[in-house]
Structure 1
Amino acid sequence: MSVNTLAPIAARKPPPAPERGWTGTRIAGHVLMALWIVSGAVLLLYLANNVMSPFVQRYWSQYLEGAVVTIELVALSMVLGALLSLPIALARSSRNPILSGLAYGYVYLFRGTPLLAQLFLIYYGLGSFRGFFSDIGLWWFFRDAWYCAIFSFTLNTAAYQAEILRGAVQNIDKGQWEAASSLGLGKGVTFFRIILPQALIVALRPYGNELVLMIKGSAIVSIITIFDLMGHTRRSFSRSYDFQAYIWAAVLYLMMVEGLRRIWDRLEARLTRHLKRSA
């Protein structure tokens, strides 16, 4: 074999991998990881020494009740927000300027203002119109802090979920629309049977991030007298003045978030296993 024949073969060889040195970024990363491990070990040691303390024996059942309320609040809000986000996402993608403008204004308002302000406007602000809501028979809803929290959380997460869903739909190849049209399928059938299932798979990771943010943001409902996890934490601290009240709250929030993250990762891996096999 001639030299000219071997030249293209040698040219196709992959370049040598770069040597991995101890750069400043890697050193800083290892130092931060060591600090987190030491901090976690110290926290676990403290909790192990105080796990049977009088504070835990007295308030642990209330903490569990608060955690259940937090999960119920977030779960209901996410489900209702998902149902509301679909028409909003469709309106955002509509060619009708009125529908698109209204949907854009809704998303812009609820994504651009704090969730705490939205909760106060619904719980305290709408209370100023008690006579009007009494006349139409809705005062029973807006006078209850639980319903107001569900309502405000649903409106907030629907705006975020609508943008997540709209982006996922736009990420689907337009060729699938054309292929479905060539088969004589209507736009409604194409969207709900072909496009939407794929878009939901694309949106799995952003949906998981939104769920985690909702769990952490749900702590604000304790301000309007709902005894969720943070509500019971504030009450136990006001009665005991023991700072470990907030330590246990942080641990429970961390357990919920980490448990959700692992469940969501398994769900995502199961729903996308066909993509990995085809790759």
Structure 2
Amino acid sequence: MNWNWEIILEYFPRLIDGVWVTLQLVFISGIAGLLLAVPLALMRTSHRTWLRALPFAYIFFFRGTPLLVQIFLIYYGSSQFEAIRASALWSILREPYWCAIIAFTLNTAAYSAELIRGAIQAVPKGELEAADAFGMSHWLKVRRIVLPRAFGIVLPAYGNELILMLKGSSLASTITLLDITGAARTIIARTYTPLEIFFAAGMLYLLISAIMIGAFRLLERRLNRHQHYRGPEQVSRVDPRLAE
């Protein structure tokens, strides 16, 4: 087997163009999904049954159906309704880019909402009781205590969710988007070199994943730096001179 490095070098700029599309899909849908996931998670932790029902149904649907099906339902399904084609929404829903963004946003919001719900329930009860003792209102307690602590707890799992979304973004190529996978498939159709091109595409996904993992570790260390704090007693055990 002859490995054709020249093909990789020749078409590598085309793959880089696909990287920017992939990053846009992941980060726009990631941010939008997180904004949607927070109220969903708060509703899921409510004591009112009727308030928990709507986010439960939403999360059950998007976690229980394949992402590819969701993309097809939004991209192909929306065009089946005359009311949508006649509305202002059609200018968005007729574009594969925005259909992919919407599908990824709704999908990651469902998974992220469950992660955040678990993190909210993991907030130490002592901190909540202390907030009550200070006379904080419910929403002030949520804003200053619950959500900051929950984000610190959920961050490692949310980083994994974004990496899964990065890999899932390759499905956008099925609706003609030229992300990394879409660009690779286009190049392969011209050059008939699937091994070299898919290897190069895989290395790009691996590089992006490594950068995201490093960024989330730094962010996690910053948000949870209070857990790594060493008081004078702990420092003196390591080196008595540092406690002086």
The TM-score with structure 2 as length reference comes to 0.90
Compared with structure 1, are the counterparts of its residues 74 and 191 closer, same or farther at alpha carbon in structure 2 (3 Å cutoff)?
A: same
Q: Secondary structure at the match of 1:67?
A: helix
> Offset of 1:256 from its aligned partner?
0.9
Any gaps of 5 or more consecutive residues in structure 1? Answer: 1-45
Match of 1:259 among 211, 230, 236: 211
Q: Which residue of 1 aligns with 2:142?
A: 191
1:123 aligns with 2:108: no
> Offset of 1:94 from its aligned partner?
1.4
Match of 1:225 among 166, 176, 199: 176
* 1:83 maps to amino acid: L
Q: Distance in 2 between matches of 1:74 and 1:202?
A: 22
For residues 15-94 of structure 1, what are the structure 2 equivalents within 5 Å?
51=5, 53=6, 55-94=7-46
Match of 1:154 among 97, 105, 108: 105
Q: Distance in 1 between matches of 2:184 and 2:51?
A: 44
Match of 1:268 among 216, 220, 228: 220
Equivalent residues of 2:74, 2:99 under 8 A apart:
yes
> Offset of 1:98 from its aligned partner?
1.8
Q: Distance in 1 between matches of 2:88 and 2:56?
A: 30
Q: Distance in 2 between matches of 1:91 and 1:121?
A: 26
Match of 1:234 among 182, 185, 196: 185
> Offset of 1:105 from its aligned partner?
0.6
Equivalent residues of 2:155, 2:220 under 8 A apart:
yes
Q: Distance in 1 between matches of 2:191 and 2:43?
A: 51
- Count how many residue pairs are aligned between Structure 1 and Structure 2: 229
Equivalent residues of 2:8, 2:196 under 8 A apart:
no
1:143 aligns with 2:94: yes
Q: Distance in 1 between matches of 2:66 and 2:85?
A: 28
Q: Distance in 2 between matches of 1:199 and 1:61?
A: 41
Match of 2:55 among 99, 103, 111: 103
Identity of aligned residues (%): 41
Compared with structure 1, are the counterparts of its residues 232 and 138 closer, same or farther at alpha carbon in structure 2 (3 Å cutoff)?
A: same
Equivalent residues of 2:45, 2:117 under 8 A apart:
yes
Q: Secondary structure at the match of 2:77?
A: helix
Q: Secondary structure at the match of 2:229?
A: helix
> Offset of 1:182 from its aligned partner?
1.7
Q: Distance in 1 between matches of 2:227 and 2:51?
A: 35
Q: Distance in 1 between matches of 2:36 and 2:144?
A: 19
> Offset of 1:135 from its aligned partner?
3.1
